[in-house]
């Protein structure tokens, strides 16, 4: 399927997601209809089938325009897909890829209650057993994890971080913690692992030089939210009429200035995300730095644009009958996802000053 066809398919699913987004946000329910549609869509296996990182990012932003919660959970699922071929056992790699293509959902269970942004540096210790290790511990904010068949997880194994693709069996229990401000439909619960097997045959041999789907995709979540918020602002400014002349709100200069600022912020964020994804496609050495920069800029843009759109709509926008209040809440989650702005600035600053590897070009 061509890139253009993939983007067209994303637009089709975006409409489906948008129809139910407010309901799932209100009820804190997972968009199962979106999951079902995605499992029958070529988008679900596009990365495995060779889609570019740029196209993947653009797909994420389109889905996020419809429902940022679903786009986020799907991104975590896709992050697992990108790791399948890193399984140490080739037979397991083939089996898991077949499972993925059959529609099995994969959850990302790397975050720990005390690890903060350091999701690639587990703190919990696994004990050695025949055939692998066993882990008793907890993994936090596992988006879509309740409906997952398999989980990517991690632990300290013989003194070193180990990453595994495991069955979500009866040893894994979800604790209902998810009553958040935004991203309510991700259902990012706390998972408790009780003596869960981490099989040696399911260990991942991760290559740090290979792209990380989640790092590439996260800026595009914020871009999709920003696009939705700006679209709302433009539509509202055109439809809202002001007495006594019955003029559209769009004729007010401050509204025009606000929309112009939105456009500038969005274009800057989108341009950096495109550059980041293109660098990832080309495997340039500065791509990890660009991914961090793109996320930080996109997070800021989404919050600023959604907030400005809410101000433009006034009291009407504050009501749940309008989607803009959800866009604001969802936008606020961006900086809370790894890497946070503080961690990003620390890494970038050290790199630029020559204190951490090669500086970005």
Q: How confident is the model at residue 115 (pLDDT cuts 50, 70, 90)?
A: confident
> What mean pLDDT value characterizes the chain?
96
Assigned token pair, 24: 């799932």
Domains along the chain with CATH numbers = 3-86 (1.10.540.10), 105-202 (2.40.110.10), 213-352 (1.20.140.10)
Average pLDDT over residues 210-239: 98
pLDDT at position 114: 86
Separation of CA 89 from chain center: 28
Q: How far apart are the C-alpha atoms of 50 and 56, rounded to whole Å?
A: 10
User: What does the block give as tokens for 165?
Assistant: 């693709």
Q: What is the pLDDT of residues 168-217, one digit of tens each?
A: 999 999 999 999 999 999 999 999 999 999 999 999 999 988 999 999 99
DSSP state of 21: H
Lay out the sheet containing 160-167: strands in order across. Answer: 106-109, 150-157, 160-167
Q: With 60 as the cut, is the pLDDT of residue 359 above it?
A: no
pLDDT higher than threshold 90 for residue 357? no
Could you tell me the two tokens for 57? Answer: 């990012």
φ/ψ (deg, to 5) at 238? -80, -35
Long-range contacts of 283-290 (CB under 8 A, 24+ apart): 283/209, 283/211, 284/361, 285/358, 285/361, 286/358, 286/360, 286/361, 287/211, 288/215, 289/347, 289/348, 289/351, 289/359, 289/360, 290/360
Could you identify the residue written with the tokens 């408790």?
192
Q: Hey, is 96 helix, strand or coil?
A: helix
């Amino acid at each position: 399927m061509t890139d253009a066809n993939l983007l067209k398919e994303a637009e089709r699913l975006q409409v489906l997601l948008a129809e139910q987004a407010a309901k799932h946000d209100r009820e804190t329910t997972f968009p199962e209809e979106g999951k079902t549609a995605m499992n029958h869509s070529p988008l679900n296996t596009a990365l495995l089938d060779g889609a570019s990182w740029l196209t993947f990012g653009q797909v994420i932003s389109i889905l996020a325009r419809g429902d940022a919660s679903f786009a986020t959970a799907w991104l975590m699922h896709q992050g697992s897909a990108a790791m399948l071929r890193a399984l140490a056992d080739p037979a397991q790699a083939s089996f898991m890829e077949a499972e993925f293509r059959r529609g099995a959902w994969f959850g990302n269970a790397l975050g720990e209650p005390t690890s903060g942004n350091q999701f690639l540096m587990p703190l919990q210790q696994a004990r050695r057993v025949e055939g692998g290790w066993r882990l008793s511990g907890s993994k936090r904010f596992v988006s879509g994890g309740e409906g997952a068949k398999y989980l990517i997880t991690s632990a300290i194994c013989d003194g070193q971080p180990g990453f595994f693709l495991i069955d979500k069996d009866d040893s894994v229990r979800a604790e209902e913690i998810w009553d958040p401000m935004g991203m309510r439909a991700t259902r990012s619960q706390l998972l408790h692992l009780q003596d869960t097997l981490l099989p040696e045959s399911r260990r991942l041999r991760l290559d740090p030089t290979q792209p990380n789907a989640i790092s590439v995709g996260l800026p595009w979540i914020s871009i999709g939210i920003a696009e939705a918020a700006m679209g709302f602002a433009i539509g509202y400014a055109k439809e809202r009429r002001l007495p006594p002349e019955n003029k559209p709100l769009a004729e007010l200069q401050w509204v025009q200035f606000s929309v112009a600022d939105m456009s500038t912020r969005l274009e800057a964020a989108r341009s950096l995300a495109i550059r980041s994804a293109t660098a990832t496609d080309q495997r340039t050495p500065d791509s990890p730095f660009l991914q961090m920069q793109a996320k930080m800029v996109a997070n800021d843009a989404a919050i600023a644009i959604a907030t400005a759109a809410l101000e433009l709509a006034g009291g009407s926008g504050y009501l749940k009958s309008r989607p803009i209040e959800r866009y604001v809440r969802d936008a606020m989650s961006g900086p809370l996802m790894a890497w946070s702005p503080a961690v990003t600035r620390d890494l970038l600053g050290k790199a630029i000053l020559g204190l951490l590897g090669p500086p970005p070009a």
